[in-house]
Structure 1
Amino acid sequence: MTVGSKSRRLGGALAVLGSAVLSAALVAAPPAEAKVRHASATTAWAPAATALIHPGTMMYTDGAQCTANFVYTDGAANVYVGYAAHCAGLGSATDTNGCLNDSVPLGTKVDFSNDGSLVDEGTIVGHGTLVYSSWITEHQIGTTDANTCAYNDLALVKVDAADVAKVNPSVPFWGGPTGIDTDGTAAGDDLWTYGNSSLRAGLSPLSPHRGVSLGDDPADGGWSHPLYSVTPGIPGDSGSGFLSEGGKAVGTLSTIGLAPLPASNNIGDLAKELAFAQANSGISGLTLVNGTEPFAPVL
């Protein structure tokens, strides 16, 4: 099951995965390694303590709520916020294959909020435009690799110029990211995330989560990482980013598993998702932005 807020009211969702996982060959020609950039002087970021748009911010697309993962920029200093591609999907919460399911079009407006609930979107703190979706791109280029179709779940929203000054790339509470994790996860590895579904009424004390990796499945070619967290991801959490040891950005929340690992979550591999976007989005110089705050896992 996808973890966005669905019915399309709760946004894209954690796709519920049954016991059968798409078996698949490795991607025939892996894309180039994803790039990362340190928070730079080219963008005047808002102070981390007061930024209104940041990793973990709620994102509403056509009424559907999901969660921001990380901040990205390009060669022209445009600023983007990422979430799950299925958050802009047109199907149900169980539709998880990007090669088989449709999305709202690029150019769709997206709202940023930090206190949405089941009643409304809360206080809108900024706006953006959907400019990239792995699902749309997979359709356009005719992707056939089963693992890419099943697990590549990243979309980018370009922040309106008037709202860029409200953005900070640091993950609240934890700090970071400090780069991109390219080694995957091993069973027992600690993982950290920040985000709050509208199902939790936007209560910020519930936003920090800590989890543990269940070990990667070599059958999916490194595209997905299963985990358990103290508070499992629920609809509305889709898209939120996970940090691995040292504060590296390792993945983006995509699905919730019902079997064989009940209440587990699956995160898409950010290194692969971002490299695919860099190769196919047409956004020149697309990179992840490191946080301005040091990674400090205090829990």
Structure 2
Amino acid sequence: MKLSRSTTKMGTLILALMLAALAALVLFAPKGSSATPAWAPAASATITPGVQMYTDGAQCTANFVYTDGAGGVYVGYAAHCAGLGAATDTDGCKADSLPIGTPVTFNTGGSLADEGTVVGHGTLAYSSWVRMHELGTTDPNTCAYNDLALVKVDPADVGKVNPSVPFFGGPTGIDTDGTKAGDQVYSYGNSSLRGGVTQLSPKFGASLGDQAADGGWSHPLYTLTPGIPGDSGSAFLSTGGKALGVLSTLGLAPLPLSNNIGDLAKELAFAQQSSGISGLQLALGTEPFHSAL
């Protein structure tokens, strides 16, 4: 059936109105609602996985970068990095923590004698320890190994962020199937105890095999060199560059100088369900993963 001249004009008018409405939606959509932030180049970024983080004088190492659905950017470390108890306190359901909103700085070149140069600022936005207290969590494995906190990067410093793990690249995704004995793992520690000797930061290691008793919440492992105080919170990658875990504790018995890392898949799932941060997700690295030391 042929369209009459008037019908054609009406159709053209309707189409024009629809296109105008679509243009309005595009023009006035909330900025950064779900778009990936414009990351700084990996070679020049100063806030990355592995950067030193200082909280009320305590130094830890960043693990991964995260984003939310509103364009917010976060850097993770261990929840115990904001803890108020002794270094031996590992039960996040019992140990006290600094409150949400506590200031955190990102530093480079820090040592025992000097905290180095502040390259950015953030605030504690989520702590598994704080949230487990609020929820009344009692599961012993969750309490013992859920050790993740997120620091929201000040908007003025977001342009300094890149999510790639130094030296290794990645992460390429999230490891969800745990590890077997002998599986290779990779990490980047940045303890101030090393006095700025960055050659000791990249670490290569092997899993000791997951323990069924902890429900997959932790992965014991050895690295050369082992993680030391100040490395707490740092990232661990599995084969292929997937984000495996967050350095939590130094093992003394029955495996001296081993490390235990919290399972990132479980820790992040807990945060996604309980943090109140909408659209929380891991940011993938801009640099390809490579495992050679």
Common topology (TM > 0.5) = yes
Give the corresponding residue for 1:259. 253
Task: Tell me the secondary structure at the aligned position of residue 240 of structure 2.
Answer: helix
Q: CA deviation at 1:203?
A: 1.9
Question: Amino acid of the residue matched to residue 45 of structure 1?
Answer: W
State which of 159, 168, 171 in structure 2 corresponds to 1:174.
Answer: 168
Task: Output the CA distance in 2 between the equivalents of 1:156 and 1:228.
Answer: 26
Question: Amino acid of the residue matched to residue 127 of structure 1?
Answer: H
Question: Amino acid of the residue matched to residue 86 of structure 1?
Answer: H
Task: Output the CA distance in 1 between the equivalents of 2:189 and 2:121.
Answer: 18
Q: Deviations over 1:40-62 (max 9, x none)?
A: 96311010011100000000000
The higher-RCO structure (CA 8 Å, 6+ apart) is 1
Would the aligned equivalents of 1:55 and 1:195 in 2 still touch at CA under 8 Å? no
State which of 21, 42, 46 in structure 1 corresponds to 2:40.
Answer: 46
Task: Output the CA distance in 1 between the equivalents of 2:102 and 2:35.
Answer: 30
Give the corresponding residue for 1:72. 66
State which of 112, 125, 130 in structure 2 corresponds to 1:131.
Answer: 125
Give the corresponding residue for 2:53. 59
Task: Output the CA distance in 2 between the equivalents of 1:107 and 1:156.
Answer: 11
Task: Output the CA distance in 2 between the equivalents of 1:121 and 1:60.
Answer: 8
Would the aligned equivalents of 1:213 and 1:226 in 2 still touch at CA under 8 Å? yes
Gaps of 5+ in 1: 1-39
Question: Amino acid of the residue matched to residue 69 of structure 2?
Answer: G
State which of 110, 115, 122 in structure 2 corresponds to 1:121.
Answer: 115
Q: Deviations over 1:63-86 (max 9, x none)?
A: 000000000000001000000000
User: Which of the two has higher C-alpha Rg?
Assistant: 2
Percent identity for Structure 1 against Structure 2: 77
User: In terms of mean alpha carbon deviation, does 233-242 or 202-211 score higher?
Assistant: 202-211
Give the corresponding residue for 2:213. 219
Q: CA deviation at 1:167?
A: 0.3
Q: Runs of at least 4 residues of structure 1 off by over 2 A? A: none
Task: Tell me the secondary structure at the aligned position of residue 49 of structure 1.
Answer: coil
Q: CA RMSD in A?
A: 0.9
Task: Output the CA distance in 1 between the equivalents of 2:35 and 2:196.
Answer: 32
Task: Output the CA distance in 2 between the equivalents of 1:163 and 1:126.
Answer: 6
Would the aligned equivalents of 2:42 and 2:162 in 1 still touch at CA under 8 Å? yes
TM-score (normalizing by structure 1): 0.86
Q: How many equivalent residue pairs?
A: 260
Task: Tell me the secondary structure at the aligned position of residue 138 of structure 1.
Answer: helix
Task: Tell me the secondary structure at the aligned position of residue 176 of structure 1.
Answer: coil
- The answer to whether structure 1 residue 192 and structure 2 residue 198 are counterparts is no
Q: CA deviation at 1:202?
A: 2.1
- The answer to whether structure 1 residue 104 and structure 2 residue 101 are counterparts is no
Task: Output the CA distance in 1 between the equivalents of 2:289 and 2:277.
Answer: 28
Give the corresponding residue for 1:86. 80
Give the corresponding residue for 1:277. 271
Question: Amino acid of the residue matched to residue 167 of structure 1?
Answer: V
Would the aligned equivalents of 1:98 and 1:135 in 2 still touch at CA under 8 Å? yes
Task: Output the CA distance in 1 between the equivalents of 2:152 and 2:188.
Answer: 21
Task: Tell me the secondary structure at the aligned position of residue 97 of structure 1.
Answer: coil
Q: Deviations over 1:106-158 (max 9, x none)?
A: 10000101210001210111010001000000000110100000000000000
- The answer to whether structure 1 residue 207 and structure 2 residue 201 are counterparts is yes
TM-score (normalizing by structure 2): 0.88
